Amino acid sequence: MADVERPQIYLITPPDFELSGFPDRLARVLDAHPVACVRLALASKDEDRVARAADALREITHARDIALTIETHVQLVERLGLDGVHLTDGARSVRKTRKELGADAIVGAFCGTSRHDGMTAGEAGADYISFGPVGDSALGDGTRAETELFTWWSEMIEVPVVAEGAITAETMARLAPVTDFFGIGEEIWRSDDPAAALAALIAAMG
Cis, bond preceding 133 (omega within 30 deg of 0): yes
Contact 162, 183 (CB under 8 A): yes
List of domains in the chain: 8-203 (3.20.20.70)
- What is the per-residue pLDDT for 189? 98
Residues in the chain: 206
- What is the per-residue pLDDT for 1? 28
Other Cβ atoms less than 10 A from the Cβ of 193: the count is: 14
The whole-chain average pLDDT of the chain stands at 95
- What is the per-residue pLDDT for 2? 38
pLDDT in tens, 136-173: 888 888 899 999 999 999 999 999 999 999 999 999 99
Cβ contacts of residue 24 below 8 Å, gap of 6+? none
pLDDT in tens, 66-102: 999 999 999 999 999 999 999 999 999 999 999 999 9
Q: Report, as an integer, the average pLDDT of 26-35.
A: 98
Q: Report, as an integer, the average pLDDT of 53-57.
A: 98
- What is the per-residue pLDDT for 155? 96
Q: What is the pTM of this model?
A: 0.96
Would you place residue 3 in the very low, low, confident or very high pLDDT band (cuts 50, 70, 90)? very low
Contact 12, 185 (CB under 8 A): yes
Q: How far apart are CA 155 and CA 42, in angstroms?
A: 33
- What is the per-residue pLDDT for 95? 98
Q: How far apart are CA 143 and CA 169, in angstroms?
A: 20
